[in-house]
Copies of this chain bind each other. A is one copy, B any other.
């Protein structure tokens, strides 16, 4: 263990990182302090691949004792989508003990100030980063992501999103100075002079409700935004994806302790099977902030019922790609094939509806009919996933039986343009690995509309035949307005169509990727540069990350005195 760092030492160590992050969110140019390549780890205290794997293996079958007050039981039961029983148990909390205990350290954390909170948060992220290889296995074996994706999305990309939230939180808190002298002229009389002090104060205890598919990536923004603004944070992981967030909590508690703060500023709320403590927690008076990623149903429930809290939700949406024309047909097909395949479409950003004119599209390879486009896309997916090793590396495993059931049902919704295939995973024979299905639907048929206007989470895409480009644009508008969207994509060489799609996205507040044919995909966003969601359509009430995501997690209290 490193020598215990003082706040002063942490400022010296991490202030440059904070400043770079602040500059990055201002310019939105590319930046990341967290290496994406697995081989970049192994020096300066970070675990290399072998050490990370060993650390993960050593966790299996153990009790992760976080030293939390009010622990009344030990709970666990995670089974990896790859078939491995993790066998890790976690503290189960008596909330009437744990929640009050989480208040004890809040005053010192508040008084530490925004800069100290930022650098302590960055130290937590640094230690998580050092254990990226270990986290990669934890994310892989809870989400079902393939290793490389679990490594990158669950590691550096998640850490980036956490750091981005720290930067926004810090910037927001220092917009108001700590002190001000206010001198108001009074004509010939003496001026009025006042001394004013401004202190960012936390709202109380924040709750992070984690999701199954991206426990760290979707969990870190809220966790670090709340912590860096002075709140205590209770992390309620998804019952099938506890380990990555439990490790996060453990590291946070260690760093807080070493920096002289109360470890109970961050705690875990694991639950018994079927206990459903999210509802109980979300309406506790101590909980003043909630971050949630998951179903629209529960997200809406939180927004309606957790009235004592600020509620930030990312819910379901129906992501659309308009395919109208392209000057790089091959690039379009391979880009789309990758987007549909990555993590078996189990991303909130995966395109679901591909809107294609029934009269076909123009391309650099001549006109292509609707049927040709769909068939060529199917072939492109087949080609991408033709090699089982590569397929396993892209698809990962289906995260739960619901996804498999939806996938199987999807084949009955219309004509199957690309059937889902079962892929065997030699390393993990119990993993359920499936290629995506593409189903043809008719945008004009009411029966089909019921399918394409609902989120079908998983490796299911609909090639929706539309009457025209303008029909596509209107269907896009209606889909975003009624169902929400985390992402919108479009392929067009027509300036008018491009402008129309842009206008829909501006009016309905959806994030748009245009004519992606290279190595960037509609379902990926980069911290410090891309917004994840807009917070302005039904898919999410918040965006990662902006001022609105942090500004209401604290309040500023002013104390003024006659000078």
In the assembled complex, which residues on chain B have CB atoms less than 8 Å from the CB atom of A526? 182, 184
Interface string of A525-563 (1 = CB under 8 A from B): 010011100111000000100111001100111111110
Closest to A191 in B: B30
Whether the pair A547, B172 counts as a contact (CB closer than 8 A) is yes
Whether the pair A183, B29 counts as a contact (CB closer than 8 A) is yes
In the assembled complex, which residues on chain B have CB atoms less than 8 Å from the CB atom of A503? 107
**Complex-state Cα separation, A83 to B545, whole angstroms:** 54
Residue A180 is within 8 A (CB to CB) of chain B in the complex: yes
Within 8 A of B (CB), among A389-448: none
Which of A172, A510, A548 is the most central at the interface, judged by chain B CB atoms within 10 Å of its CB? A548
Known: A30-B184, A182-B29, A201-B536. A506 touches B546 (CB 8 A): no
In the assembled complex, which residues on chain B have CB atoms less than 8 Å from the CB atom of A560? 512-514, 520, 530
**Complex-state Cα separation, A506 to B517, whole angstroms:** 53
A169: min CB distance to chain B, Å: 11
Closest to A522 in B: B560
Whether the pair A529, B28 counts as a contact (CB closer than 8 A) is no
Interface string of A192-206 (1 = CB under 8 A from B): 101010110101000
Residue A6 is within 8 A (CB to CB) of chain B in the complex: no
Whether the pair A183, B536 counts as a contact (CB closer than 8 A) is no
Interface string of A116-142 (1 = CB under 8 A from B): 000000000000000000000000000
Known: A175-B547, A192-B518, A307-B303. A506 touches B199 (CB 8 A): yes
Closest to A560 in B: B513
Whether the pair A534, B557 counts as a contact (CB closer than 8 A) is yes
Whether the pair B530, A556 counts as a contact (CB closer than 8 A) is no
Residue A181 is within 8 A (CB to CB) of chain B in the complex: yes
A485: min CB distance to chain B, Å: 12
Residue A516 is within 8 A (CB to CB) of chain B in the complex: yes
A161: min CB distance to chain B, Å: 16
Within 8 A of B (CB), among A23-60: 25-30, 37
Residue A352 is within 8 A (CB to CB) of chain B in the complex: no
**Complex-state Cα separation, A58 to B410, whole angstroms:** 71
In the assembled complex, which residues on chain B have CB atoms less than 8 Å from the CB atom of A177? 26-28
A507: min CB distance to chain B, Å: 7
Closest to A547 in B: B551
Residue A280 is within 8 A (CB to CB) of chain B in the complex: no
A227: min CB distance to chain B, Å: 18
**Complex-state Cα separation, A505 to B29, whole angstroms:** 41
Interface string of A54-73 (1 = CB under 8 A from B): 00000000000000000000
- Can you list 29 A-B contacts (CB < 8 A)? A25-B175, A27-B180, A28-B177, A28-B182, A28-B198, A29-B182, A30-B183, A30-B184, A172-B547, A175-B546, A175-B547, A180-B529, A192-B519, A192-B520, A194-B520, A203-B536, A502-B559, A505-B557, A506-B557, A510-B557, A511-B558, A512-B559, A513-B559, A514-B560, A515-B561, A518-B562, A534-B557, A535-B555, A546-B551
Besides A304-B307, A543-B555, 4 more A-B contacts (Cβ < 8 Å) are A110-B506, A196-B529, A548-B548, A552-B552
